[in-house]
Amino acid sequence: MDIEVVGKLLSTLPADDDHPYRTGPWRPQTTEWDADDLQVIEGAIPPDLDGVYLRNTENPLHPAIKNYHPFDGDGMIHVVGFRDGKAFYRNRFIRTDGMLAEQEARQSLWAGMAEMPDWAVREDGWGARRRMKDASSTDVVVHRGRALTSFWMCGDLYRVDPFSARTLGKEDWNGGFPYHLGVSAHPKVDDHTGELLFFNYGKDAPYMHYGVVDEHNDLAHYIDVPLPGPRMPHDMAFTENYAILNDLPMFWDPELLKHDIHLPKLHADTPARFAVIPRRGQTSDITWFEADPTYVLHFANAYEDGDEIVLDGFYQGDPEPGGEGITDKWQKAFRYLALDHLQTRLHRWRFNMVTGAVREEQLTDTISEFGMINGSVTARPHRYVYAASGVDGWFLFNGVVKHDLRTGAEESFFLGDGVYGSETSMAPRVGSSGEDDGYLITITTDMNDDASYCVVLDAARVSDGPVCKLRLPERVSSGTHSTWAAGSELRRWHETDTAAAAVGL
């Protein structure tokens, strides 16, 4: 393994930090690494695994003004690239405006999710709430061969090189980027059309917008999506012809909001509403459907089935867990992040475009979230969802569950006690012939070995365990969202003789 330290950022976090989301498996990194020819600890790197696994991570560098929330940390992108039976690794902080300003100031300048906006040092800021730091630490997608990182409560999108993880600047969509509201956590890329679909939201009417960026990177479509008030949608879905947005009954308490207090509350008597919009449709073309009240953090996929739109996502059985019986103060404070408390289960909604009827059903008893599919079936009927299983009481993943939605069968892989994974992406094998013909990739934080590994599973035989396990240069912080980009989607990938040359370009 060829390893080099290429950067080190200033951290002012105290050595005796006791916050569980800044220590242990969430201990942040300050070092940026280049590593080539990753050491294979177990198995062998499949020669038909070709492309890059990208993972975003919240990685704080300074104490919060008062209360740190794990969504506040600065973004760091990890890249594990596979080509010709070899693998490389890069990690880089995303050079956001906020992160650079705080490096200069040697302190936090903006108020986090668990803080009041007027605690912020700076008057400006990002996020639907405003006066937050856009850490760009939530998701990462690849559009037109370039990675884009996002912030969970709407912000800029940062362009990141998918080989070197270097920040290339802010995405501007050829002048069309809606900087005043930003873009929400999960912009969606349709690899079949080259489009990117997104929404944003805010505290002023119409409270939501929906947009489409075309294959030339122009903002080709942008419409109002009027809502009854400020909402907190996190994810969306799309089919071949429709986009699906949501207005869910978990939102800031309107009375408290008048006093600038942003406290999400479940409005249990209010239905969940889903907006189905023709992908280039107007506001007047929106069809709303009502369903059982819940909150959904992530959807897995959607597709058309005759007159119906089918939407699969993770229904929360208890979006507002009470915390009774939780004795640990940190577990109680962050119970909203634990999958077992939220009771997140894969769920299917069917919206009939002709009759307006809604049918919904729980697809499994198993608790999981952060579901990924084979990207080639995005917006098409899918059979498999690969999701994370959670550690009871904590925002940590301890394994992968493969849900077979045709048979109801489930297959899982447990990473082991003290080993935590990230969102597991599905990488179709080169020349793939079936939906589960490929690999599942995750990065682990292994507290037993004080190390991190990139673990690759066979998507068709998940419970068999790793096909290969590769050592990373240091233990990385636990993190969540990830994506896979095949080498065939990456413009520079096949213009060079080796992956290392592609990185160096």
CB of 236 to Fe ion, least distance (A): 11
Residue 163: closest CA among 252, 244, 81: 81
Q: What is the DSSP letter of 131?
A: S
* Cβ-proximal residue to Fe ion, closest one: 185
Contact 131, 125 (CB under 8 A): yes
Say whether 186 counts as a known binding-site residue: yes
Residue 13: closest CA among 4, 1, 5, 23: 23
CB of 186 to Fe ion, least distance (A): 6
Nearer to Fe ion, 185 or 427 (CB): 185
Nearer to Fe ion, 185 or 419 (CB): 185
Say whether 143 counts as a known binding-site residue: no
For 99, the token pair is 């992160």
CB of 481 to Fe ion, least distance (A): 6
Nearer to Fe ion, 153 or 426 (CB): 153
CB of 423 to Fe ion, least distance (A): 9
Beta carbons within 8 Å of 219's beta carbon, 6+ residues apart: 173, 174, 176, 177, 178, 211, 212, 213
Q: Please classify residue 163 by burial: count the beta carbons closer than 10 Å to its beta carbon, then call 0-12 exposed, 13-18 middle and 19+ buried.
A: buried
Say whether 69 counts as a known binding-site residue: no
Contacts to Fe ion from residues 153-192, by CB under 5 A: 185
CB of 299 to Fe ion, least distance (A): 10
In sequence order, what are the beta bridge partners of 143? 146
H helices within 47-114, ranges in order? Answer: 97-105
Nearer to Fe ion, 227 or 236 (CB): 236
Contact 438, 457 (CB under 8 A): no
Angstrom distance (rounded) from CA 3 to CA 272: 50
Nearer to Fe ion, 371 or 487 (CB): 371
Angstrom distance (rounded) from CA 79 to CA 55: 7
CB of 372 to Fe ion, least distance (A): 12
Nearer to Fe ion, 341 or 350 (CB): 341
Residues near Fe ion (CB under 5 A), total: 1
Contact 112, 72 (CB under 8 A): yes
Residues that bind Fe ion (CB under 5 A): 185
Annotated binding site for Fe cation: 186, 234, 298, 481
Question: Per the annotation, where are the binding residues?
Answer: 186, 234, 298, 481
